[in-house]
Each structure stands twice: as structure tokens, then as C-alpha cells.
Amino acid sequence: MLRVLPNRRQLVCALALLTLAVVTAVALHAQKRFEVFLLAVDEGGLAVTDLKAADLVYRESEKPGTVVSVEPYRWPAKVTVLVDNGTGGVAGVGGSGRSEDGLVFDNLTQYRAGLKKFFEMLPRDVEVTLIATAPNPRVIFRSTTDPVQIQKGINLITPETEFPGRFTDALTEYAERLDIEFKHLSREERPPYLPVLISMGSTGLDGSRIERDRVQKMMTSLRNYGVSTHFIMTTPTTRSLTIENEGGTVLIAKAVQELTAGKYYPIAGSASTRLMTLLPELAQQIQLRHLKQTLQYKLTIERPEGATGDLSKSEMSLSRPGVRYILSIDGSYP
């Protein structure tokens, strides 16, 4: 049975052009069996969804191993968006009032329009959460796939003109919710989904009370859970990019981004229309990653008799003509 990736056939065709990947960096030493993840596509760019162990051949140093099992493996994305609607955020570079420094707000419409495009482009089965960060982190909608609820929620984003967003508090509370949700997982177990965090912040003041231990714990949790982070940091046009004016938000955002191997997108207030294209671009990236991770297989492989050490001399091949594949060590396809 073949399945077309929803509304994005051109993206799947691109997968078929990728070079065949072989896992070469895992040191297994004396381990007899191991797991690896595989995504297969046919010549038409369609995901192959009826793959069997008999279709795969595994060898090490020219010796045959055994593909013990091939199981469909879903590892979906789950997206949380944080929006700074305080002075310096939606308010500081757009909105409907004046901030403490007299800035005129005029781009709340762009924020809303960009977010609507972002959520519309995500696959319908991706659960999404939207949180406003001022005057306190506030959930607008949580873990929903309902397009009506999502669109209504976006319209509930309003500028808070008297208080800055609580950027660090929002990150910390997000990490603490993950701690609670994943507390039953062992060190070796992965979360049941890929957490994706989009933070639309500001280089203005942070209304949070910064506590070093809490921040360090937040960063450790985001790293340990493999959170995919994207920081969109807007600087109001009347402010310069200095540490004094940034209030530490940039330092924390960049520290988290580097620790989680995420992305950081600086935007000047005068270029705020960039959100209208950037957010759909991010949605497209997340969409492709989600689809690859929900159409893959988990393979259990038994190594040839006496095989030890790493897999630098391993090979995987498919007996089906015209089918190409991508391998992943952990089921993740950045």
C-alpha cells in the first residue's frame, strides 16, 4: 500500500533524491542486536508503507546479518508557540497602543496573519499549543488539532501595553510541563513525540524573575528531551542591539538555541513583515520532519556471527527495484 504525503508531493520527491545513508558512527562493540530507523520512498516520491523484513538485506564486512523485524514507527511532532505580547514584543513593535517609551504599535495584524499561515500549513494531525507571555504566561489553547479553535485562539492575542513579556518564565514553565509529562521515562527512553518549540520573543526587557538554578534546570530538560527549538527575536526599531537594552533575553535564547542545536532568527522591527514568510517556512520544515518521522520503520537487526565494534563496514540494501531509503540512528530526521 502506498501513501501520498498530504499536499506536499514535491517535498517527498526530494527525499527520493537523497543519497542512501548508512549508519557508520554507532559504536556497538559486543552488542548482538541493535535498532535503526528507515524511511523508504518509491520512484514516484510516495512513501512505501508495506515494507517487510524479506525486502531488506544487511551485511557487515561482506558477512550477512539478519533483519529480525520491520515495524511501522510513528514519532510525531507536537508544537508549542510562545508569543511575546508585552511591551517590546507584539506591543513593542506592533499592536494597538503605546508602550512605556512611546512606541507606536502597528504590526499585531502581521503576527496574527503569520501565525494563521503557520498553523494552516502544519499537518492536521500535529497537536499545537499557543501561549502568550504577558503579563504572565497564559495558555490560549492547548494540545489541539481543531482548526476552528486554533483560528479563534490566534485572534485572542492582544497586546499588553503596561508589562513586558515573561520570556524566561514561559520557557521554564514549558520545560516544567515536559518534566511532569515525561517523569515516567527512563534515561534510555525517548519522549512519545518530538517536542517543537517556536518562541516569538523580543530583545526588550524580560518581566521574569531570573533564578539561575531554575534556568539551568530548564535548559537541561530541553536538551535531554531533544526539543527542537526556534527563536524568533524581534528588536524594536528605536532600540539598539546592546546587552543593556536586551535585558538578557538574547543571552538566554542563544544559550538554549546552542544547547539544543536549534535555530535563532533575529528580526529588526522595521523588517517585521518577515514574519509573514518566516513562519510558513518554519511550518514547512516541521511538516516535512513530522511526515518523515510518522512514515518510517523501526528495524531490529542481528549482526553476523562474531561481529563486534562499530558499523563502519555495514551495508543495507533493498530488494525492491526503484525504492530508495534514508536511515536514522534515532528516528529523527532534522
Residues 6+ apart with CB under 8 A from 199: 81, 82, 167, 170, 171, 229, 230, 231, 232, 253
Question: Distance between CA atoms of 246 and 239, rounded to whole angstroms?
Answer: 9
Which residues pair with residue 328 across a beta bridge? 37
Model pLDDT, residue 275: 87
Which residues pair with residue 36 across a beta bridge? 299
Q: Is the dihedral of CA 266, 271, 276, 277 positive or negative?
A: negative
Grid cell for residue 287: 511538516
Cα first-last separation, the chain: 26
Model pLDDT, residue 271: 65
Q: What parts of the chain have a pLDDT lower than 70? A: 1-30, 88-107, 236-247, 269-272
Model pLDDT, residue 100: 38
Please say whether the beta carbons of 116 and 67 come within 8 A: no
230 three-class SS: strand
Please say whether the beta carbons of 311 and 31 come within 8 A: no
Which residues pair with residue 60 across a beta bridge? 63, 314
Question: Distance between CA atoms of 187 and 258, rounded to whole angstroms?
Answer: 22
Model pLDDT, residue 70: 97
Model pLDDT, residue 9: 39
Is residue 180 packed enough to be buried (19+ CB in 10 Å), middle (13-18) or exposed (0-12)?
exposed
User: CA-CA distances (angstroms) from residue 185 to 175, 192, 298?
Assistant: 15, 10, 19
Closest CA to 20 of 5, 40, 3, 50: 40
Q: What is the DSSP string of 258-304?
A: HHTT-EEEEEEGGGGGGHHHHHHHHHHHHHHHHHHHHSEEEEEEEPP
Model pLDDT, residue 204: 80
- For residue 63, what is the enclosing H or E element? strand 63-64
Model pLDDT, residue 109: 79
Q: For 254-289, write each residue's pLDDT tens digit.
A: 999 999 999 999 988 666 688 889 999 999 999 999
Question: Distance between CA atoms of 330 and 334, rounded to whole angstroms?
Answer: 11
Model pLDDT, residue 163: 87
Walk me through the domains of the chain, giving residue ranges and CATH numbers.
2-65+303-328 (no CATH), 77-290 (3.40.50.410)
Beta-strand pair 228-235/263-268? parallel
Model pLDDT, residue 90: 67
Grid cell for residue 324: 530508495
